[in-house]
Structure 1
Amino acid sequence: MLLTLAGAVAAAPAWERQVGMKSMADSARIIGDMFSGRRAYSQTNFRAAAESIRAHAGTRLVDDFGSGSQADSKADAEMISTSAVEFSRLARDLEIYASALSSAADRNPSELGAETRMGGALFGSPFGRKPDAARDAASMPAEHTYHLMLQTCTSCHAKFRSP
């Protein structure tokens, strides 16, 4: 499903989007801390963090950035508008990765099992095919999904934030 900005409503206020972005960053940090062992694993907290990201991603993210620029925003409204398909794809990928992490929590009630870890395995190469969130997220270890989710955030910020 492709999300588009065509006919989008006015963008959410910049402060509101910033609150959502901070919530996603905090949630990603919680998940990362559980993978790294800096925080004890909790199925409830892991799922809640993934669901918080999922709730701010996809259509909601596209709608939040709507049409029009705002003086107090770091978003590049013109770039978002001219690259709407890419912005929508990144928003949808973020939602897919977060959903896959939520499902991983459902499958791991007491610990992040070995199947959730990358375990030193290499996933892809510079010459291999690029991961496709819709096709690959459910079949890869959750830790790899987490890293691809972070990469999605970084890609979006690199292209769609004003310098």
Structure 2
Amino acid sequence: MAKKILIPSVLIAFIGVAAMAHNGATGIVKERMDGMSAMGKAVKALTPIMRGAVEYDADKVRSAADVMIKHAGEQMISLFPEGTGGMPSSALPAVWDNWEEFSKISNELKAYAEGMKIAAGNGLAEDAVEQDDAMMGGSNDTMMGETTEDAMGGDAMGAETMITAEMFATMPADTAFASVAQTCSACHQKFRAKEN
């Protein structure tokens, strides 16, 4: 049975038009566009796996995670020096106006990708539920139904917890993937111009 993993439509749209945006890009702008395109292709390759539409392959998950890790965090941040907005770049002025938030999201993306790599061996949540049911006589002790923040130790007062890759050690890979996709989407919504 195919599972439903929600991939934000903003992210899907980005994947489809990323190649068109590279026309005329050079230097650091082209370098960051190439990195974003590589990450978009990694997400696109993982989507059917995480939805259960194709057979789960932990090595493919790890490989895609490596692409994300390579291009996220400090690497991504370094490709956005002040003054590199404007055409052909899709970066909004908000990148530099809200530099701290942009940097935080970039670093979170890397942590989530590292977590996805660690979680790759755990399989999908559906598999984890079936294994728990078999081992526990029908008990469901997984994190199903929790938000990523709940599963990572966020408290009722909304205090933020430092995200580390190790937090994903026992999570299903699709939970980690959802965090990656949501982070990409949040960044695009705040910091990337919409395509015409």
Same fold flag (TM > 0.5): yes
The alignment covers a number of residue pairs equal to 146
Mapping 1:1-163, distance limit 5 Å? 13-69=28-84, 70-76=86-92, 78-105=93-120, 107-108=121-122, 111-112=123-124, 113-114=127-128, 120-123=144-147, 124=150, 129=158, 132=161, 134=163, 138-139=167-168, 140-163=171-194
* Aligned equivalent of 1:6: none
Q: 1:129 to 1:32 in 2, by over 3 A?
A: farther
Root-mean-square deviation over aligned CA pairs = 2.8
Gaps of 5+ in 1: 1-10
Q: 1:73 to 1:103 in 2, by over 3 A?
A: same
Larger Rg: 2
Gaps of 5+ in 2: 1-25, 130-141, 151-155
**Structure 1 length as normaliser, TM-score?**
0.75
Please state whether the residue corresponding to 1:75 is helix, strand or coil. coil
**Structure 2 length as normaliser, TM-score?**
0.63
Q: Could you tell me how far 1:31 is from its partner in structure 2?
A: 2.2
Give CA-to-partner distance per residue, 1:90-115, whole Å, 9 cap, x none: 0000000000011112x34xx54417
